Amino acid sequence: MPTHLIRKLELFTMLSAEDKQALKAAVSQRIRQLRPKEDIIHEGDEPRHVTLILEGWACRYKYLEDGRRQIMAFLLPGDICDLRMFILTQMDHSISAVSSITLAEIPADMLLDLADNSPRISRALWWTSLVEEAISREWIVNNSRRNATERMAHLLCEIFIRLRAIGLTNGQSCEIPVIQAEFGDALGLSTVHVNRTLQDLRAANLVLLKGKTLTIPDLDSLKAVALFNANYLHLDREGREFDANEA
C-alpha cells in the first residue's frame, strides 16, 4: 500500500478518498523486491514505467570512467524514482537499492491518467518533482561550499526531517541503512574522512550512529552546525487551496 507516498503528497495537499484509492490501484500493478546493491535501473536503459519506493532505501548514482562513484540522491519510502524519466529514451544515471527494498512499478500511461483525472494528484506530483530539484540544488551547495563536518551534519538533518515528515522516526531516532562508503560517495569524502567526521559529531554529542540507528539528541544544535535551513524541503502545506473537501 502506498502509505508513505500518500503521507508525502499530503505534505502538499490533502487527498480525497477517491484520490487515495486511485493511487492504491496504480501501485498494485507490479510489486518487486530487491536486495541491497541490486540495481533498479541502469544508465542507458530505456525507462518503461515509473518506480515508487514502498519500503527501504535506494540511491541515484553515476560512475566515472575510472570507477569512482557519485551518489546524487537518497530515495526514501514514498519517493518516486523516475517521475519524468519515462519521457526520455534512456536513463542518464543509475538507481540502486541501498537496503533491501520493496518497490512498485507504475505503468507510464496509468500515471498520466492519474494526473489527468485528479488535479490534486497532478499538482502534488508537480510539487514532489520541484522538491526533488530543490534537494539536488542543496546537495550542490552542500558539497561545494560546506566543510566536511557541515556536509555530514546537513545530510543527517535532511534525512531525519524527510523521514519524520512521513512518520518514520521514533522520537530523536531513525533507521538509516547507509554505510560509511556510501556517505563518502554522497558527500565527496573518503571513507576515512567520513569516519573521522562522524567521530567528531559523536564527541560533540550531536549524533549517535549505532548500527543502523541514528539518534540526534538536539536537532537544533545539529542544524546550527550544518547551517541548515529546511525551506528547500517545502514542508509547509503549500497546496492548501487544492485540499479535498474532506480535509
Domain of residue 109 covers 3-137
Query: Are the beta carbons of 22 and 125 closer than 8 angstroms?
Result: no
| 183 and 123 inside one domain | no
Name the residue among 190, 192, 163, 217 with its Cα closest to residue 53: 163
Q: pLDDT digits over 109-168, tens only?
A: 888 888 889 999 999 999 999 999 999 999 999 999 999 999 999 999 999 999 999 999
For residue 53, give the CATH number of its domain.
2.60.120.10
Domain assignment present for 91: yes
| pTM beyond cutoff 0.85 | yes
Q: pLDDT digits over 49-76, tens only?
A: 889 999 999 999 999 999 999 999 999 9
| 122 and 191 inside one domain | no
Query: Are the beta carbons of 94 and 62 closer than 8 angstroms?
Result: yes
| Nine-digit cell string for 64 | 566515472
Query: Are the beta carbons of 129 and 83 closer than 8 angstroms?
Result: yes
Q: How many domains does the structure of the chain reveal?
A: 2
| 106 and 19 inside one domain | yes
